[in-house]
């Protein structure tokens, strides 16, 4: 009888736990060497859990295209809520549809790779919940590029704090653009760049503090996709530009430049606590060609040496011991 009662109580607790999870939500709670993953029933068929201990691996189905749209979740995307503590864990996510990661009091260290590893080429929002402090730390790895590593583009937001301790490569890496709004982002170490992204970087508001990096504070590269000019709301933009519209950006303790961009560095507001001379932006290739010397070598992206570019595009210029990507607009 007692055994049956315990079974019923366990079943009721399980049902109550499932009811407590909002639609479109996956809750991940780290606790030392373990992690609990609870998936809302309305999306359970779209999320496969391949976790082992505190190393959480979730596969978001290729067929998922949004469900249960609301005012606050207009695309009906899945929201992954991360909390708790582990000194040997990770959050790994695959998928092909935009999603949100909400940090709700997370302290996560992965000594063997990225703490947060997003293998999803779509837009991923990373939100630090108001009033929370979240810290992620990575460890040595040869495959990935950041303590926070994203295959797609990242929007950092929320009114909480995210601390990033990079110990392998870049502290924050996004293969496409990065945008920052409201949250406080503190980066205290990085063997390479503190923040490294492609396409563009846009700081709308918030606070970014970079206090150490063995290379650049923020580096923005052009992607290999077709180069564009600046676009409305930066939609489908690939300029290699850095933008700061508002917020407070502090960069100290870096061994490279505070900000380096393949495109232009554009300020329209906000506060910057670093030397205005501690930046590097690449001029249009026309300016470079006007200063051409016999020591300058110019190549197209197929590796063919050219004397004078015949078309708009990206070219590789080698001069004075440096190799730079230049854009002919």
pLDDT in tens, 120-144: 999 999 999 999 999 999 998 888 9
Q: How far is Cα 76 from Cα 61, in angstroms, rounded to an integer?
A: 14
Q: What is the pLDDT averaged over residues 271-297? A: 68
If one compares 70 and 225, the residue with the highest pLDDT of the two is 70
- Given a cut of 50, is residue 12 above it in pLDDT? no
Sign of CA dihedral 167, 170, 175, 176: positive
Span 246-264, average pLDDT: 97
pLDDT at 240 over 50: yes
Among candidates 258, 298, 296, which has minimal Cα distance to 280?
258
CB count, 10 Å around CB of 34?
A: 13
Q: Note the Cα 245 to chain centre separation in Å.
A: 19
| Cα Rg of the chain (Å, integer) | 22
What CA–CA distance (Å, rounded) separates 316 from 166? 30
> By CB neighbour count within 10 A (0-12 exposed, 13-18 middle, 19+ buried), where does 102 fall?
buried
Of 101-110, 214-223, 310-319, the range with the lowest mean pLDDT is 310-319
Average pLDDT over residues 167-192: 98
**Residue 143 per-residue DSSP state:** S
Token pair 């990033």 is found at: 164
Any idea which of 196-205, 222-231, 291-300 has the lowest mean pLDDT?
Answer: 291-300
Over the chain, what is the mean pLDDT?
88
231 and 237 in contact (C-beta within 8 Å)?
A: yes
Please choose, from the candidates 222, 224, 180, the residue with its C-alpha nearest in 3D space to the C-alpha of residue 198. Answer: 222
Note the pLDDT of residue 44: 97
On the question of pLDDT at 326 being above 50, the answer is: yes
Q: What is the pLDDT of residue 280?
A: 93
Output the six-digit token pair for 215.
């290379």
Mean pLDDT of 295-317: 66
More confident residue, 296 or 292: 296
**CA terminus-to-terminus distance, the chain:** 79
How many CA atoms are closer than 13 Å to the CA of 176, on its beta-carbon side? 21
Strand partners, 234: none
SS3 218: strand
Ranking 47-61, 121-135, 187-201, 222-236 by mean pLDDT, the lowest is 222-236
Q: How confident is the model at residue 5 (pLDDT cuts 50, 70, 90)?
A: very low
Residue at token pair 């396409």: 199
pLDDT at residue 311, as a whole number: 62
Tokens of 73: 């979740």
Alpha helices in the chain (DSSP H): 2-19, 285-290
Q: What is the dihedral of CA 21, 155, 270, 287, to 10 degrees?
A: 180
Structural contact between residues 106 and 137, judged by C-beta atoms closer than 8 angstroms:
no
Q: Is the pLDDT at 17 greater than 50, yes or no?
A: no
Paired tokens of 62: 């290729």
Query: With 90 as the cut, is the pLDDT of residue 321 above it?
Result: no
Residue with tokens 């409201």: 182
Angle at 238 between CA 236 and CA 241, to 5 degrees: 125
In this prediction, residue 301 has a pLDDT band, given cuts at 50, 70 and 90, of: low
Average pLDDT over residues 43-66: 98
Residue 223 scores a pLDDT above 50: yes
- State phi, psi for 176 to the nearest 5 degrees: -125, -155
pLDDT surpasses 80 at 304: no
Does residue 64 contact residue 78 with C-beta atoms inside 8 Å? yes
């Amino acid at each position: 009888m007692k055994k049956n009662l315990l079974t019923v109580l366990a079943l009721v607790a399980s049902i109550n736990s499932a009811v407590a999870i909002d639609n479109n939500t996956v809750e991940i709670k780290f606790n030392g060497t373990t992690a609990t993953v609870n998936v809302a029933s309305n999306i359970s068929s779209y999320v496969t859990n391949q976790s082992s201990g505190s190393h959480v691996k979730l596969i978001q189905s290729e067929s998922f295209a949004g469900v249960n749209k609301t005012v606050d979740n207009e695309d009906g995307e899945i929201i992954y809520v991360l909390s708790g503590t582990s000194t040997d864990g990770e959050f790994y996510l695959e998928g092909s549809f935009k999603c949100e990661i909400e940090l709700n009091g997370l302290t996560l260290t992965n000594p063997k790779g990225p703490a947060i590893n997003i293998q999803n080429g779509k837009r991923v929002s990373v939100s630090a919940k108001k009033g929370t402090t979240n810290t992620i730390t990575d460890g040595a790895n040869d495959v990935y590029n950041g303590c926070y590593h994203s295959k797609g583009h990242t929007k950092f937001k929320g009114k909480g704090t995210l601390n990033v301790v990079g110990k392998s490569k870049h502290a924050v890496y996004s293969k496409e653009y990065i945008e920052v709004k409201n949250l406080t982002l503190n980066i205290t170490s990085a063997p390479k760049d503190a923040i490294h992204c492609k396409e563009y970087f846009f700081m709308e508001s918030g606070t970014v503090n970079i206090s150490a990096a063995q290379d650049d504070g923020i580096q923005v590269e052009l992607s290999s996709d077709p180069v564009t000019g600046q676009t409305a709301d930066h939609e489908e933009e690939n300029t290699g530009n850095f933008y700061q519209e508002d917020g407070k950006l502090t960069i100290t303790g870096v061994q490279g430049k505070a900000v380096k961009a393949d495109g232009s560095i554009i300020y329209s507001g906000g506060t910057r606590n670093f030397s205005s001379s501690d930046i590097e932006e690449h001029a249009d290739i026309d300016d470079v060609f006007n200063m051409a010397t016999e020591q300058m070598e110019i190549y197209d992206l197929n590796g063919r040496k050219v004397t004078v570019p015949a078309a708009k595009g990206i070219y590789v210029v080698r001069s004075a011991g440096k190799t730079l990507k230049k854009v002919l607009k």
